[in-house]
Amino acid sequence: MADVKLVYRCQQCGYLSTKWLGRCPECQTWHSLAEEAQSRSRRRAVGASVEIGPPPTLAEIPCDQEERWLTGMGEWDRVLGGGMIPGSMVLLAGDPGIGKSTLLLQALARWGQNRKVLYVSGEESPQQIRLRADRLELDGGKIQVMAETSLEPILDTLQRHPVDILALDSIQTVSSRNLEVAPGSISQVRECAGQLMRLAKERAIGILVVGHVTKDGAIAGPRALEHLVDAVLYLEGDRTHAFRILRAVKNRYGSTNEIGVFEMKEGGLDEVPNPSRLLLAERPVGVSGSVVVCSVEGTRPLLVELQALVSGSGWVQPRRTSMGVDANRLSLLLAVMEKKLGFNFSQQDVFVNVAGGVRLVEPAADLAMMTALMSSTLDQPVPPGLVVWGEVGLAGEVRGVTHGALRVAEAIKLGFEQHLIPRSNADRLPADLTTGCMGMRSLREVLDSVFPSSGM
Ligand SMILES: Nc1ncnc2c1ncn2[C@@H]1O[C@H](COP(=O)(O)OP(=O)(O)OP(=O)(O)O)[C@@H](O)[C@H]1O
Ligand SMILES: [Mg+2]
């Protein structure tokens, strides 16, 4: 015991003090200093550099074939980067009621077939979880269930009864006794996540934590966890629509922006292997303001319908409403159309919507959004077999985007014959994909080719 000294470490910023302080002098947080044991002999060893050999080189580090645990749910496995890696920690975040617990239980039931799985819930009783599993008709009989909100009993249980996968629903309900602050506060969430992360790495457990997105869109405050965990998955969607998109916004073991598409049904979240077909099923043909765009999320091409409505405004300040696209981007594109093409939206309300409750984040949607705006303003529909994509710059130039061939191939697969795309992408397409492709350099060219009789 003589070899152990007590120190106090700030749980917020890591500041180390030899005595307890009510407030951290470094980050000014109250009650954030927690007791910690420090070994004297270890500190001496660190100072005695003569005994320490050089760190290993990359070539000397053993590298086993990476193991990945698959669920067999293609959409879920792909978003994880090809399955769960032992020793990794994944955050599953989303709005309340979007379907996080449902998706989690579905994945756990699959993993539970050949792995030891523990499901810890701080929000629901074991009976509620059982009822959900029955309702979803899941074969999850082997999943161990625990209703607990203190971190220490959870860690104790794992010490005594090791498992392969631990799921925690949700991180905001769990608290550690090390800190005397309320569950869900940033320091609690960080402390619990930090301890779980250590456990994951030490014992090669795959850990999944659910996180609620708070009102301002961040997880437990200002993205307190994103930098800590290995992967961050967001379950997105409009609760009034059946579609849910699982999006990897960070992944240390796979591609980010990768998406999986699900449909919420009575029996849970169903995979949608061909989402483009479903998303376009209700598209009105020959109607002005509707344009199909091909967006690529991760490695996944997605054809979706973009709708624009431009109508005379009775307001002093006309309305700009966008659903599924960024509102600032819409304002910018309207300004470019006014300046470069002579459109006038000063007396017009403008509404833009992405059908199916999908959210488009990449700039490749610019050109389609502008074509839909042109179509609605001129009240002229675009040809039914036309698909549009490309980024637009402030000078009205059409800029190339990534994955050109992938986008064209997906559109051809779904029966589209005309592709209005950036010239730089058209020039680089493989010969077998060039039929029906129109390479554009500027917005003016787009207006003249799609609406030759516009008179603008
Ligand atoms: N008994 C039920 N019958 C039919 N559908 C249900 C039932 N219970 C829940 N659902 C559907 O499942 C959806 C997702 O529920 P789930 O509990 O998985 O969401 P969640 O994201 O975990 O919510 P929370 O933030 O409250 O934990 C609900 O919005 C609802 O539409
Ligand atoms: Mg839940």
The residue contributing the CA closest to ligand 1 atom 26 is 97
CA atoms within 13 A on the CB side of 264: 21
Contacts of 290 (CB under 8 A, 6+ apart): 283, 284, 305, 306, 307, 372, 375, 381, 382
The residue contributing the CA closest to ligand 1 atom 11 is 99
| Residues whose beta carbon lies within 6 Å of some atom of ligand 1 | 94, 96-102, 123, 135, 212
Q: How confident is the model at residue 1 (pLDDT cuts 50, 70, 90)?
A: very low
Structure tokens at 164: 């392969």
The number of helices, as runs of H, and strands, as runs of E, in the chain is 12, 21
Superfamily the domain 74-273 falls into: P-loop containing nucleotide triphosphate hydrolases (3.40.50.300)
The residue contributing the CA closest to ligand 1 atom 25 is 96
The CATH code that applies to domain 277-450 is: 3.30.230.10
Contacts of 308 (CB under 8 A, 6+ apart): 289, 291, 350, 351, 352, 353, 369, 372, 373, 375, 376
- Estimate to the nearest angstrom the gap between the alpha carbon of 260 and the chain centroid: 10
Q: CA–CA separation, 330 vs 310, rounded Å?
A: 13
pLDDT top residue among 52 and 408? 408
Residues bordering ligand 2, an ion, CB closer than 5 Å: 101
4: enclosing H helix or E strand: strand 4-10
- For residue 94, give the ligand 1 atom closest to its CA: 21
Rounded CA Rg of the chain: 27
* 161 to 140, 141, 165, 219, 246: CA distances (angstroms): 19, 17, 12, 30, 31
Question: Mean per-residue pLDDT for 32-61?
Answer: 67
Contact between 364 and 268 under an 8 Å Cβ cutoff? The reply is no
The residue contributing the CA closest to ligand 1 atom 28 is 97
For the segment 383-442, what is each residue's pLDDT rounded down to a tens digit? 999 999 999 999 999 999 999 999 999 999 889 999 999 999 999 999 999 999 999 999
Structure tokens at 249: 């916004």
Q: CA–CA separation, 357 vs 305, rounded Å?
A: 10
Residue-level pLDDT at 299: 76
Question: Mean per-residue pLDDT for 364-377?
Answer: 97
Closest ligand (CA of 99) = 1
**Residue ranges of the domains in the chain?**
4-50, 74-273, 277-450
pLDDT at residue 143 greater than cutoff 80:
yes
For the segment 318-348, what is each residue's pLDDT rounded down to a tens digit? 999 999 999 999 999 999 999 999 999 999 9
In terms of residues, how long is the chain?
456
Look over the chain and give the mean of its residue pLDDT values, rounded to a whole number.
88
Question: Mean per-residue pLDDT for 109-117?
Answer: 94
Residue-level pLDDT at 253: 87
User: How many Å lie between the centroid of ligand 2 and the Cα of residue 312?
Assistant: 44
